[in-house]
Structure 1
Amino acid sequence: MRLTSEMDDQNVQMRTPLFRVEDLDVESYHDGVVMLDFEMKVLAANKTSVEFLPGDWSGEFPIGLSDVFPQMSEEYEWLSRLVREKSCFRNHVVNLSREGRMRTLLADSSFLRDKDGEQAGICLFLKDIGNIVSLEKKIQHNEILATVGKIAAGVAHEIRNPLTSIKGFLQIMRHELEKKGMQKEFNYTDVMLSEIDRVNELVGELLLLSKPRELRMERIEMEELIMTMAPIISSEAILNNIEFHLSLKSVPHVYADPEMLKQVFLNLVKNAIESMAEVQGGKLVLSTEYLPQERMVRIDVQDTGPGVPHYLTDRIFDAFFTTKETGTGLGLPICQRLVNDLGGRIKVKSKGFGTTFSVFLPTMSA
């Protein structure tokens, strides 16, 4: 049977003669190509498409669609429906999961035609656009942070100046109330001062997002840095009935701002402890590892808390998004901003029980 591939683009037909099935040159395409007939057989598929569509490709073409994919699988359902409905489309976005990784593909399809011009099958073209989607999300995220930063920079001083005055007069009132033995009113001022400090802290966090901090970069030995924080973390863990462990491997030095790194790690530890406080105890582990291929040092903050639902993992770095009743939703965006300023990146992994935040930092090794 002689086949041609027709791409229907603005009613223009393009036919390329394709002779025998075994002569179909699908490997010449950089993107994924799968050719199917209307009898649910795969006529040809290149290596790229096999990477996109996991299945049993050990048979020789043509091969039955059900021999490649289990009939209840997502891939079989999609491809069989494509053939049954004889679907021709352009720029169709498809999300397929493989080995726990969600892949975003841009799919085009066209008819395969025989020598008489009759429809004989479907030719499917697949392009991985995951990096583009990820880049768009990152740009949107940075734009949001930039907007938040501009607002913060504009109002921070306007907020802090009256707060300073209010705090000063409250402290004078406290002194007078204490002298007159008005203990009940004196206690009210404690609450008011606490809330003023909370607002000041929020303004400070907003300012961290508004502009990059001046970096004081230096050569850092990661084990030494973590050990300086260990007593603080350990005491906080004990207060919350949490086991604290270190698993530190020998890793190359990094070039970073030590105070900035401390802020990142203490913030991640605080989040971990707060999440485990909900289940009354747990285990907190700080570990380090060197990734020679990437020339990165990875620092993991791992907890045994309730975990982050998979549908929220893409949102936890959004400014003002929080699942806590008293949270501001700025802690993780600030961590991400600080790590990015140091030339690193931060990732989260959670599988329904426990969460691991991984900070990746470039090493000083050549």
Structure 2
Amino acid sequence: MITSRRVFLSGSASLIVTSALASNAVATGSKKTNLVVVMLRGGMDGLAAVPFVGDNVLSNARPDIGIDNPISITGDFALHPKLKSFKSLWKKGKASIFHATSIPYTGRSHFEGQYLMESGGVTPYIDKTGWLGRALEGGGKKSLSISLPMPLILRGGSDLDNFMPSRNSLPKDDILNLLATNYSQDDMLSSTLATIRKRPISMMNMRNRSGDQDVSGLAKIAANQLADPDGPSIAVFDIGGFDTHSGQGGDHGEHAEQLQQFDNVIGTLYENLGDAFSNTIIVSLTEFGRTIEQNGGSGTEHGYGTAILMAGGLLPESRIISDWPGLKKKDLFENRDLNATIDARAVYASITARVLGTEHKKVVEDAFFGADLPDMTNRIFG
């Protein structure tokens, strides 16, 4: 299958949409399933997003940046007050959380951590492809990139064609006609070109509007495209600003503002996907968590364990999924961080396999180099 994608930038947020054209869903008449990955760069504080309220350890460790008005979801866990859309879906049985999880990286470097969260490997700068790109490629999906640079998470190992339009314009009819003429015998490329032509003008011009399009606008465009049975099946959002070494805030502040952006993505997708929401799953991705204790600048340092937030109609019910290690000193990683008891790669492998309709073992082999990752399908979808 040929896929095409386009990148939209807006301040600290961006959107990458990967179109699935000649998909098996269309061929068999079954419904297309969608995966939305929201990358939260800077180290999203899982203990701020989903605070543990079963004891006073966290509140004592963060007297100035604690969450004063958490939204209760279970006896032991709550949500940050900015996650209102997520809570609404939680009440509908369409949101879940993996807590005390992380990719297997403990070096606390943003550069290395973000590289590994996209590559799916364990050694920084070794792998030149991304886990999602390898999963798509392993499923027989060929990628046609309509913008550069291709993000690491979507890079596959071969058959990667790239076309870069000028900064002030996207493919015009004469270029598309030339491509169609030269590759008239390529049915899949012809389908790609047809999809590019039918994209709305507002979508085609989005790259030129970096100053006036917020993340909710990007999410609305993504929803409209994902809802198209012949359109995208994969969307990747990229939201920065989670590296809060000072002035992190609690209910309000810098970290809260970034969580608000994440929540806006979820809420906008739900409002605009329509029936397609029932066949969609949204999942967060970050490089690591934050320290338990606040620092002298009312912020937090780079940590280890964090949380994965999921939403979508593919989820059967709302639940906390965790092998919770506890927050007492003896339970922390290196006496300072929430420990990670679940490899985040196992979560992404199971979700990707479900969306692509592929065996878990194959996704692990293709996307995560055959790592020893347990199948989390029943814990997520069972």
TM range, smaller chain: under 0.3
TM-score by length of 1: 0.24
Q: Which has the larger radius of gyration?
A: 1
Q: Which has the higher contact order (CA 8 A, sep 6+)?
A: 2
Looking at secondary structure, tell me which structure has more strand per residue: 1
TM-score by length of 2: 0.23
